[in-house]
Amino acid sequence: MITIPPHLDLRLLHLEETTSTNSVAVNAAEAGEAEGLVVLADLQSQGRGRQGRAWVAPPGTGLCFSLLRRPEVAPMVRPYWTVLAGVAAHAALRDDVEGVWLKWPNDLMVGSRKLGGILCEVAESGAAGAPPAIVVGIGLNLRPPETGWPEDLVSRATSILEQAPESSLPRGLLLVRVLESFLAREAQLVARGPADLLAEFRVCMGPLVGRMVQVEKGSQVVRAEVLGVADSGALEVVDEAGDVHRLLAGDVHLGVV
């Protein structure tokens, strides 16, 4: 049985199966649910990634959960919650999974393989006077499917078991680790601003800096070198013409030569 320690002041909704933990949390937020709800599912039938992509997590293979927050911050600060979720998950994994890093904006990687992903969504307040809710969805691969990764993911996905076979990291313990890491950094972000969080983010995404990548933004695809992350959280890249771009949204693809 998975439980959350009382000192975290969170409420766990543990579902055997649901369409998407983010959908459940967004619906709860719009109905007026207070912050602190954690929605955990053993199976997601319609798990979502960024830009409408599906998140594959057969039963028993992943940790998939969503956390409902209502931070009283200016709208311009809310995008940092994606950075916050990535850094928190990275901190929870780095002692057990050697070489884990963050690929901007929200992928947990080992080498060129994806270990996990993050999807943050803003929901309407659902109650008079309540600040808008941020729903933070995190999905981590604990082990590969029994039948192996699907053909299109064989070279692109990995799991904690594959990367750290001798590590014993139960799902409940990992959940608590991520939540503790998240809440500590969230308190710091609200109290002092994003400077410390961005400094940690830059370390986490170190393997991306100086790398040639393919940047996809809408219908535009640009081959560029990664320079780093601006204070706004935007990714800074320089294209082959020498023009510097700051990207607040989009996808970065590795393996470009």
**How far apart are the C-alpha atoms of 179 and 182, rounded to whole Å?**
5
Q: Pick the closest to residue 193 from 151, 138, 228, 232 (CA basis).
A: 232
Question: Given pLDDT bands bounded at 50, 70 and 90, which one contains residue 167?
Answer: confident
Q: Are 227 and 209 in contact (CB under 8 A)?
A: yes
Question: Given pLDDT bands bounded at 50, 70 and 90, which one contains residue 176?
Answer: very high
Amino acid symbol at 184: A
Sequence spans of domains, the chain: 6-204, 209-253
CA 200 to each of CA 44, 185, 195, 196: distance values in angstroms, whole numbers, following the listed order: 31, 10, 9, 6
**How far apart are the C-alpha atoms of 140 and 26, rounded to whole Å?**
20
| pLDDT tens digits, 47-96 | 555 544 555 566 778 999 999 999 999 988 999 999 999 999 999 999 99
CATH fold of the domain at 6-204: BirA Bifunctional Protein; domain 2 (3.30.930)
- Segment 241-246 mean pLDDT: 91
Q: Return the minimum-mean-pLDDT range out of 85-89, 225-229, 245-249.
A: 245-249
Q: What pLDDT score does 57 carry?
A: 63
CATH fold of the domain at 209-253: SH3 type barrels. (2.30.30)
Eight-state DSSP code of residue 52: G
Q: What pLDDT score does 82 carry?
A: 93
Q: What are phi and psi of 208, to 5 degrees?
A: -85, -25
| pLDDT tens digits, 92-150 | 999 999 999 999 988 999 999 999 999 999 987 766 777 889 999 999 999 998 888 88
For residues 2 and 254, the model is more confident at 2
- For the record, the structure tokens of 161 come out as 């078991």
To the nearest whole number, what is the mean pLDDT of the chain?
Answer: 89
Question: Given pLDDT bands bounded at 50, 70 and 90, which one contains residue 31?
Answer: very high
Residue where the block lists tokens 């503790």: 180
